[in-house]
Structure 1
Amino acid sequence: MTDNSSCHTPDGAGGTDGRSGEVTTTYKVTGMTCGHCEGAVSSELGELAGVSAVQAVAASGLVTVTSKAPLDEEAVRAAVDEAGYELVGQAG
């Protein structure tokens, strides 16, 4: 039997990139309306320790974050708040 417990965050959201072992988690963010918004959110989240990639899409309000380990949701919330937007939570 294979232990796949490291493939998901405790609530089942997110997963690992099979090639790199990194964790990818998608969050719902409100208030983004344009490319500038996407850049602001991406910039703030990109400064969190362990984050290697961020993709924000204003049209859907989804932000996908790739990191070395699962991120603390309060740290994500603070970064999104600093950018001027609101974190709803993990998309799922």
Structure 2
Amino acid sequence: MSAQTELPQAETTGSCCSPSGSCHSDAGQAPQGGVTTVYEVTGMTCGHCEGAVSEEISELAGVSSVKAVASTGRVTVVSEAPLDEAAVRAAVDEAGYELVGVQA
């Protein structure tokens, strides 16, 4: 199984936390192997939000890549094995957002 993933983006000047858009792009994507799970997260509005969620989930054991998309509320995670949903929920909560579902 493969998924498209996003590499961390370089810092930008100013804040991207505005309704006008995101400071992250889809550049730097590459396929990865492993288990792919798509989570639904509420509260993300911009690239900064995407980065905060991605950073927290990336710290979970076995995670090889994370791509959060604020406009859809979807967070795609590639991991060595299925992740414990409670651990993912705690990571999203730590970032300041809410995990509301897992897509099949």
Asked if TM exceeds 0.5, the reply is yes
For 2:77, the equivalent position in structure 1 comes to 65
Q: Is the Cα–Cα contact under 8 Å of residues 62 and 91 in structure 1 kept in the other structure?
A: no
Aligned residues: 76
What is the TM-score with the length of structure 2 in the denominator? 0.69
Mapped to 1, the partners of 2:32 and 2:49 lie a distance apart of 29
For 1:6, the equivalent position in structure 2 comes to none
CA-atom RMSD, angstroms? Answer: 1.5
Equivalent AA in structure 2 for residue 67 of structure 1: S
Identical-pair percentage: 72
Consecutive unaligned residues of structure 2, counting only runs of 5 or more, are 3-30
What is the TM-score with the length of structure 1 in the denominator? 0.78
- Would the alpha carbon gap of residues 70 and 34 (structure 1) be closer, same or farther in structure 2, given more than 3 Å must change? same
Equivalent AA in structure 2 for residue 49 of structure 1: A
Consecutive unaligned residues of structure 1, counting only runs of 5 or more, are 1-15
